[in-house]
Amino acid sequence: ELKVEQNPLFLSMQEGKNYTIYCNYSTTSDRLYWYRQDPGKSLESLFVLLSNGAVKQEGRLMASLDTKARLSTLHITAAVHDLSATYFCAVDMNGYGNKLVFGAGTILRVKS
Amino acid sequence: EAQVTQNPRYLITVTGKKLTVTCSQNMNHEYMSWYRQDPGLGLRQIYYSMNVEVTDKGDVPEGYKVSRKEKRNFPLILESPSPNQTSLYFCASSSLPGQGFYEQYFGPGTRLTVT
């Protein structure tokens, strides 16, 4: 059974600081997704990482994937309040992108 | 506008009363899925469908049924709801690999309470 573990589960940080969210998974997969969820809202796709060594950046967020280590990271640079949300990683179980196993989510609060 | 719609958005019901949550997408996607979201557990897949009349169990299928008679629709059926099915439900759709798009598009969610 695939397990996906996110760390930390809750993160409170000051504006302007940097931090990294980690996503470890227990079985082989070449594809990983990162989503953002605002309170009471649906999930918004942030990044799709399709191969080992993939790195993608959008604004203050950068995601990377190391399939050998079964690890993905979401790095936050110079956090701002608008980044406050819950972030989920999801591992693609079958390579088709339609069978995902999610981590428990990381609640991020950025304090001004 | 490309979207996944779900109805109803909110539902309060009683134990044992059959209900259906509808899901529709207008992107001509082959793949559709249902997830439930519970605090501390992330999202867990209930069922998924790879095309019309092709469905398969996800990680938590007990107590749920689905059908895929048309490409755009993928209803979730609870034949006899129980309180442990109180949750936030999301429908999602995605296109075939190789078409360059690997994202799952999520609907707005349905908050179900079973008393």
pLDDT tens digits, one per residue of B62-109: 999 999 999 999 999 999 999 999 999 999 998 876 655 567 899 999
**Predicted confidence (pLDDT) at residue B15 exceeds the cutoff of 60:** yes
Task: Encode pLDDT of B17-58 as tens digits.
Answer: 999 999 999 999 999 999 999 998 999 999 999 999 999 999
- A3 close to B (CB below 8 A): no
Using CB atoms, pick whichever of A31, A98, A103 lies closest to residue B48.
A98
What's the average model confidence in pLDDT over A53-77?
95
Share of chain B above pLDDT 70, in %: 95
Nearest residue of B to residue A92 by CA position?
B102
Interface test with A, best of B74, B104, B105 (most A CBs within 10 A): B104
CA distance B63 to A20: 38
The verdict on a CB contact (< 8 Å) between A98 and B107 is no
Most distant CA atoms of chain B, gap in Å: 44
